[in-house]
Amino acid sequence: MTYPLGSNSLTSSYLDFNEMEAVMAGPIDAVVAIHNAFRQDMKLIDAAALDSARGKPGLEATVERFKFFNEVLEWHAHGEELAIFPALEACAPSVAEAYVKDHRALDAAFDSLNRAVSVRDALETARATKAFRFYLDVHLDKEDGHLYRLIKERVSVPDQGHAVGVMASTVPEDRFPELVAWMFPLMGHDDRENMTRIWQMVMPPEAFAGARQLVEEAIGDEWSELTRRIPELEGAH
């Protein structure tokens, strides 16, 4: 199959964000949606780590998900540093450097968690997920309420679209199916709708058909709610 989000797939002819402005979702809504998926997964991982430290069995797989979670977080942070932060620097100088420091702090939070899990220290693992979650939530709230607010206020919608397209290209093409299978079950209906509409806008039709299939597999019975919101999905095979 053709993987949908490789940089080669994102041609300017599919990046018509002037047109997008007229519909519900804007390009930054894709970032908000993945922020919400990060929040939700870290909440689940942290809760599992706490229960595990209290002696509840069978939660290892949920706690272990932090490894894939962090891979996605690294792609996301790399994409922000590559595309979003430079766009902001041009219209709001010296804001982004504080967010780069946050990213390095999140790297350190991951290292602590990874160490605790690798030596099977359940108490230290729960402390590390709590610290990771706390800092992640602060970072994401600052990005949503401050950094991306400035992007929306000061960067044109086509330039926002271009930056989000460059961000998307930081996902390795062969990992896209895993990304969809992880992300869509974690998102609420509004975020699923926004992300799907944005992909429909930025992907070539055959790539979007592949993505649509992956989304359907990822959300199972809840696919009907997505097709109720975006009826043309049923015809996008």
Would you tell me which residues interact with Fe ion (CB under 5 A)?
80, 143
Q: What's the CA gap between 128 and 130, in Å, rounded?
A: 5
The least distance separating Fe ion from the CB of residue 148, rounded to whole angstroms, comes to 8
Contact 151, 28 (CB under 8 A): yes
The least distance separating Fe ion from the CB of residue 76, rounded to whole angstroms, comes to 6
Nearer to Fe ion among residue 137 and residue 173 (C-beta): 137
The least distance separating Fe ion from the CB of residue 69, rounded to whole angstroms, comes to 13
Nearer to Fe ion among residue 111 and residue 217 (C-beta): 111
Nearer to Fe ion among residue 80 and residue 208 (C-beta): 80
The least distance separating Fe ion from the CB of residue 19, rounded to whole angstroms, comes to 25
Which tokens in the block code for residue 29?
């809504």
Q: What is the DSSP string of 22-70?
A: TSS--THHHHHHHHHHHHHHHHHHHHHHHHHHTT-SS-HHHHHTHHHHH
Picking from 200, 201, 192, 203, the residue whose alpha carbon sits closest to that of residue 18 is 201
Nearer to Fe ion among residue 29 and residue 80 (C-beta): 80
